Structure 1
């Protein structure tokens, strides 16, 4: 394990922690944070609100009226699964700190609304799982372009055996045709129509309540390779399908596509 470093001089403290998140978080929670609390004689509590669908700059702009406060504080962090906002409050009693956090969280939720998908230790896949289990629903996945990232996320999520029927990786045209997509569709390249067919077919073949698919293509831009993904959701319950398309730098889109899909699925499940 990597070491940490704590130095005190002239009433100031310098703390250095290891870079790997698992080691840093453990050291912070078990060693650094409790020691800082002892030194201040106060209770320090934090809560993280998680959003998706807005840029960090836009989130900052929207919550600017709330960021001038020094207690509680509000800070934003860009993550793969969206923009996180951490509220931190310091008070003499735990109840006071909790009340301060609740008041600020209420204000944040009023501003960001449906862009918020979770809080604290929740992940998008855990939220999807909770919603599916609560409604007695199941999901199946067909994906191209992303190499099975959505399948992997759902397959390793808590209690996934209760709702995840499985998935198919259809990188080639032959694989899409084997799934049942019409040959004339796949020869035209990636499209919303192909993504829709994939979602419908994987739902039917794996006997799931919901089918979700990711299809994509690359495009050459000005000195940069771009990626466009099509995410389709076919639901037995609402008897319709939805398709969204997202574009950006290829490396970024390949990494983020699964999270776009999970967020779209969260919105659909909450609307049912």
Structure 2
């Protein structure tokens, strides 16, 4: 079965929002045996939407849309589908009752404009949306399917998981494709290629390699009539890859770096503390996103001002001699917080997330200190100068470097 995805909203075509819905849907289709032909974005314009839908339904068996199901004048997805199929819309009593109940639960009057969210056409059925006021449509006509979903990602992903994917699974569409992603750090594509080059020529599966912020990822993909059969193809290939480059693999698939690091810290009965400057607490925030992180993370301080670093135990002589943004201060920050908090490991981060040069160092320069018991190491990196990106990449680097030193 062939599919097409259309993301709808002028906020997307104007670059005001980044579309996360289409990648999410695209990632789910291979396991359902659905071949994705393409993805497009369309603004809130009825003529453009009519053209996009007509073109997609000509080439695809199933078309997924997100967005344009709200109550306002520029929410036009229902109108466009009704026009394309030459069907009239009508108010569905059941959908209207659900909508009224939703507003009553919020102790709000239902605006008249929301009435359009309770409409259907003859060839459509309503798709429940428990997270918002916009139900979806599942249209089946002349052997084609159109699945209309809301634009807010939390509503769309919830509707997909609760209502859409389970029904697509029951369709038993055909062969499915499954993927295993192995995440590495501390090794380049060239070295990886030298060790596993022979696996690229296996006929039963495909192997790919691509660089990400968290290191090089290896992708194994296999197609079979069932998920079990596909994983039976992947498993021996994964086992051989791990035997060849396993020392560099920190996780797989949906495993998160902070989770895998937490497992390693708990397994080794190690505790951690942090002192941050330019990352503004993002490192501590990331670490504590993991349930149960209090077992190994004892706390952290944001020492944004130079004098606060000194109060927290950073050697003033080192600050004066090398400058507050220096490898020496980053290392001393890691040592100071480790001693102050009484932990096995301390991480210190200092740098320039954005703005103007400081102490003759360019924006984007970050120094990361890691002190494990009595051993201190410092890593210096320079990132592109988007403030949030610098902070995020510095945190990722710090976690990866610590994982590497504990492996």
Q: Which of 265, 268, 272 lines up with 2:405 in the alignment?
A: 268
SS of 1:208's equivalent in the other structure is: coil
Q: Partner residue of 1:41?
A: 174
Q: Partner residue of 1:194?
A: 329
1:227-242 equivalent positions in 2, closer than 5 A: 227-236=364-373, 239-242=374-377
1:175-194 equivalent positions in 2, closer than 5 A: 175-187=308-320, 188-189=322-323, 190-194=325-329
Bigger drift between 34-43 and 173-182 goes to 34-43
The yes-or-no answer on 1:157 pairing with 2:290 is yes
1:35 Cα deviation from its structure 2 partner: 2.2
Q: Partner residue of 2:348?
A: 213
Distance across 2 between alignment mates of 1:13 and 1:79: 32
Distance across 1 between alignment mates of 2:351 and 2:265: 26
Cα pair distance change 1:44/1:29, threshold 3 Å: farther
SS of 2:376's equivalent in the other structure is: strand
What TM-score does the superposition give when structure 1 sets the normalisation length?
0.78
1:48 Cα deviation from its structure 2 partner: 2.2
Distance across 1 between alignment mates of 2:166 and 2:217: 20
CA offsets 1:65-100 (integer angstroms, 9 cap, x no match): 756778534455665544444433221344431121
Distance across 1 between alignment mates of 2:161 and 2:342: 44
Q: Partner residue of 2:380?
A: 245
1:120-131 equivalent positions in 2, closer than 5 A: 120-131=253-264
CA offsets 1:128-158 (integer angstroms, 9 cap, x no match): 1111111211100011111111011112222
Distance across 2 between alignment mates of 1:23 and 1:158: 24
Q: Which blocks of at least 5 consecutive residues in structure 2 are unaligned?
A: 1-7, 9-20, 26-52, 68-150
Cα pair distance change 1:178/1:11, threshold 3 Å: closer
1:39 Cα deviation from its structure 2 partner: 4.2
What TM-score does the superposition give when structure 2 sets the normalisation length?
0.54
- Matched-pair contact (CA < 8 Å) for 1:17–1:27: no
Cα pair distance change 1:28/1:90, threshold 3 Å: farther
- Matched-pair contact (CA < 8 Å) for 2:186–2:404: no
Question: What number of residue pairs does the alignment pair up?
Answer: 262
Q: Which of 381, 392, 396 lines up with 1:255 in the alignment?
A: 392
Distance across 1 between alignment mates of 2:160 and 2:216: 22
Distance across 1 between alignment mates of 2:207 and 2:170: 19
Higher relative strand content: 1
Cα pair distance change 1:32/1:16, threshold 3 Å: farther
1:60 Cα deviation from its structure 2 partner: 9.7
Distance across 2 between alignment mates of 1:213 and 1:34: 50
- Matched-pair contact (CA < 8 Å) for 1:129–1:158: no
- Matched-pair contact (CA < 8 Å) for 1:91–1:97: yes
Q: Partner residue of 1:132?
A: 265
- Matched-pair contact (CA < 8 Å) for 2:331–2:371: yes
